[in-house]
Chains A and B, each alone.
Chain A
């Protein structure tokens, strides 16, 4: 590993937050369509221009590359596909984003970078999407929802572990809902206005069509750029998936048995984490953060000589934070090495994020039995 998992995770989170901030600005600008197209244009200077400077573009590009790269790398370094439902959603949404978004970025930002006279104001963009290329509009609408869902889930699963979350939630959650809905409404409202103007204002329509011709003039170059980006991204994803498949197939027969408290046993492969074994075998196992060594709810008590790999920096930090005992490990970070291991789960499967926020509030020995449930 080039750098430690802990730093990688923080960079991924930071780049994600950066991208989410940009998307939020962009969508807020779109939401102004509810006022008027002019208002969108006026606020573009404040909301989007900072991102469209050289520095802003470099930052965004770097953020996007790092976030996507780390995501793909983490997919490649998996040892099984036993993921939580949220993780599956995040993975698929994340993988779908770049190809869907590429067209928008290349068509507007790259074009205006290449052609100085090209004027990508909101009037042009809306006219293109509502009149000249409606299929692209459908694609962009979809990507708004996908990107926002991906970002919101990511933000939520980070924030929910923080002790401040109960106070933050009443502010953050409504914002997470309001921004995309207002943006879509703004898009629809402004679209109607633009269609009306296209029908009535011939001079303006000529301007738009002239702009469109500028873009078509360099269409070939744009296609090359787009194709290249597709190729790079596609090959990265394909190689990540092939690494994953090879890893799984290679260890197909390297079976390890894990025995749990309560007489349960499960079979996993070498390299899988204990949490993945639990998930793959439908064994109830608490994991609030979904296996990112953040929450400490998946922790297990293992014998001192258990055949697991050594704990990494991130795991030790979390274990220290939740004041775990010396024989505890995080199930999501403890990977099987070869010999069978026996573990005891500390938390019942039904703990929620509160157990991560206040580790001491949960009785360590709670067993999921009928009385507790009632």
Chain B
């Protein structure tokens, strides 16, 4: 057992040989690699390629002879016998598992999910069932393999073969769970039904080819010492993968064209063209420039593709649950959560992409982090800044959407409608949003500069000299902003209130910004008043108003009768369906003054703010009508001249 573990480790080491190497001096290495990237030694690579194909047949012959020898001395028969035992154990136990698990799996796949959340839940259950089967296969195969006395070198082959099976099966399981070809309601990705089977098969085949392209050449190099044959096989399988990918792109794009005919509205990005160019470029680069440049290109292409599709992918989980198959609907008013998830996904994609780049370039990270290369230090700081930007962005999205949602819940704000209890929030929240944006940007800029190693202190000190000059200029600005903050904190006015400022400007508050308040005069003009100039503010829209007006009547009018009449009118008005609710204290009138030739009656009532004009008009109308009915006319304003004309004496 122990020796077998040793040989297992050796096998894995053999398989992974070539992907690991101990770096010499990090900085030089990177420079070397960067140089290698920009000017790949094309002719040497082509020569190596030519050698691979020229020498492959002889190596194949040698390998064939070795296999024949292995057949004669019983090694091969023994190896196959043991391999078949592995098949019986692994496949048999898994089959046994499926005789129990198939029914629950069918139950899950037969269920229709109504919401994306349910689909995710069911998918994870399917993944659990399928994954456990695979795990059982791996575990039982490995356990059986550990018990058998394998001939030399065969253990490595068995590990490689198992790795191949596991890779293909896991890829297939994941693709099947995500794409779910037979059950559109369980699908976890925005893939149309007609593509689904194609995608799953494609993923499985591609994985098989890729795994073979990695494992077989390594086996040949490590065990058969046939590096040229390995190279030739790698190129051959690479060609197959290229052709397969191109065919897939062509097929998918043709089908899309066919389906899209007649309803295409706007020209789209020529995705098929770009994809096939990238594939071709990768293949050619892999041929002439060595694998690394090609891997870089693949990494970048995958990251770009994922970033392009990320919105579709993320919003797929927040689609409305009407179960529309085609064209997943993107919500018109996006929620906060999906946007945060989208940001996370994009960030993670970029990070993984960069990690991939680092792996491909074989950047020795540990040495870079502790080393003194200024370029490396700068790169690390940039990475810090990017992370900071991401955190700031997330915080900003969270706050912005919290505020927006609160605002949406309150009501749309119309400054000229009667005020409600929410006007204060409606006034303050947008201002808060802007303030926070400024704070976030400032803080981020300062932190970013600091992280990047740019000293802020001198910057601030330098700003001090100018600052003095600017400070004098900005005096009023500062006064405006601070008094604005105080006005808002003290709740002096809100949007929609009618105010009169000390500078005799008046109007309805329409808009509040950092420095000014916009007042709409009742005649129309909009006045922008800096907070600093507002001075004392008279708010006409708070709590209640009392309105008073005079009625001049002739001296002959009966005061008591008039008082009762006005009181009656006040009671009538209080019962009015429209005006009644606005009136706090009903209309009353009394004799106020007696002037020569005229009795002045003063009327008074209390209403909600802003309603006094309507109530007064209605009251006057009614009073006039009542006076006309009683035969009393209004008294003239000035002294009355009475012309008495005596009739001529006869």
Contact = CB atoms under 8 A, between A and B. Distances in A.
Nearest to B95: A153
Given A173-B96, A350-B107, A368-B111, A145 B84 contact: yes
A254 interface: no
A348 B81 contact: no
B33 interface: no
Nearest to B68: A134
B102 A352 contact: yes
A144 B80 CA distance: 12
B118 A131 contact: no
Pairs A-B, 3 closest by C-beta atoms: A350-B107, A352-B103, A134-B71
Contact of A350 (B81, B106, B118, B182): B106
A191 B111 contact: no
B78 interface: yes
B71 A135 contact: yes
A350 B77 contact: no
A191 B104 contact: no
Q: Is the interface of A mostly helix, strand, loop or mixed?
A: helix
B76 interface: yes
Which of B93, B110, B182 has most A Cβ within 10 Å?
A: B110
Interface in A102-123: none
B96 A141 contact: no
Interface of A: 129-131, 134-135, 137-138, 141-142, 144-145, 148, 156, 160, 173, 176-177, 180-181, 184-185, 187-188, 191-192, 195, 282, 284, 348-353, 368-370, 372-373
22 contacts: A130-B77, A131-B72, A131-B74, A141-B77, A145-B88, A184-B88, A185-B85, A188-B77, A195-B74, A282-B182, A284-B109, A349-B106, A350-B106, A350-B110, A351-B103, A352-B100, A352-B103, A353-B99, A368-B111, A369-B111, A370-B118, A372-B107
Given A181-B85, A282-B182, 14 more contacts: A130-B77, A134-B76, A137-B80, A138-B80, A141-B84, A144-B84, A180-B88, A181-B89, A184-B85, A188-B78, A284-B110, A350-B110, A370-B118, A373-B108
Contacts of B93: 177
B305 interface: no
Contacts of B103: 350-352
Contact of A191 (B78, B85, B100, B108): B78
A363 to B, nearest CB: 14
Interface in B252-280: none
B308 interface: no
Which of B82, B87, B89, B111 has most A Cβ within 10 Å?
A: B111
Interface string B445-456: 000000000000
Contacts, number: 87
Interface residues of B, number: 31
B77 A177 contact: no
A160 B96 CA distance: 12
Which of A148, A160, A192, A368 has most B Cβ within 10 Å?
A: A368
Contacts of B106: 284, 349-350
A134 B74 contact: yes
Given A173-B96, A351-B103, A137 B77 contact: yes
B418 interface: no
A195 B75 CA distance: 11
Interface in B101-151: 102-104, 106-111, 118
Contacts of B371: none
B74 A177 contact: no
A181 B88 contact: yes
Contacts of A351: 103
Contacts of B80: 137-138, 141
Given A141-B84, A145-B84, A177-B88, A368 B78 contact: no
B464 interface: no
A351 B106 CA distance: 9
A309 B153 CA distance: 61
Nearest to A138: B80
Contacts of B85: 181, 184-185
Q: Is the interface of B mostly helix, strand, loop or mixed?
A: helix
Nearest to A148: B88
A188 B84 CA distance: 11
B69 to A, nearest CB: 11
Contacts of B96: 173
Contacts of A184: 81-82, 84-85, 88
B107 A187 contact: no
A348 B78 contact: no
Contacts of B81: 141, 184-185, 187-188, 191
B92 interface: yes
A188 to B, nearest CB: 5
B298 to A, nearest CB: 35
Given A141-B84, A145-B84, A145-B87, A134 B92 contact: no
Which of A177, A188, A353, A372 has most B Cβ within 10 Å?
A: A188
Nearest to B91: A149
Contacts of A160: 99
B77 A134 contact: yes
A348 B84 contact: no
A210 B14 CA distance: 45
B77 A129 contact: yes
Contacts of B82: 184, 188
A142 B74 CA distance: 16
B163 to A, nearest CB: 22
Nearest to B89: A181
A173 B100 CA distance: 13
A42 B92 CA distance: 31
B137 to A, nearest CB: 14
A350 B429 CA distance: 55
Nearest to A185: B85
Which of B80, B82, B102, B103 has most A Cβ within 10 Å?
A: B103
A368 B110 contact: yes
Contact of B74 (A145, A148, A192): A192
A69 to B, nearest CB: 28
A186 B92 CA distance: 19
A351 B263 CA distance: 45
A201 B372 CA distance: 73
Which of A134, A145, A181, A191 has most B Cβ within 10 Å?
A: A134
A35 B281 CA distance: 62
A369 B77 CA distance: 52
Contacts of A372: 107
A112 B132 CA distance: 50
Contacts of B107: 348-350, 368, 372-373
B126 to A, nearest CB: 11
A349 B110 contact: yes
Contacts of B111: 368-370, 373
A191 B77 contact: yes
A135 B106 CA distance: 42
B536 to A, nearest CB: 67
Nearest to A135: B71
A283 B54 CA distance: 54
A337 to B, nearest CB: 28
A351 B80 CA distance: 39
A350 B84 contact: no
Contacts of A156: 99
Contacts of B73: 195
Contacts of B108: 373
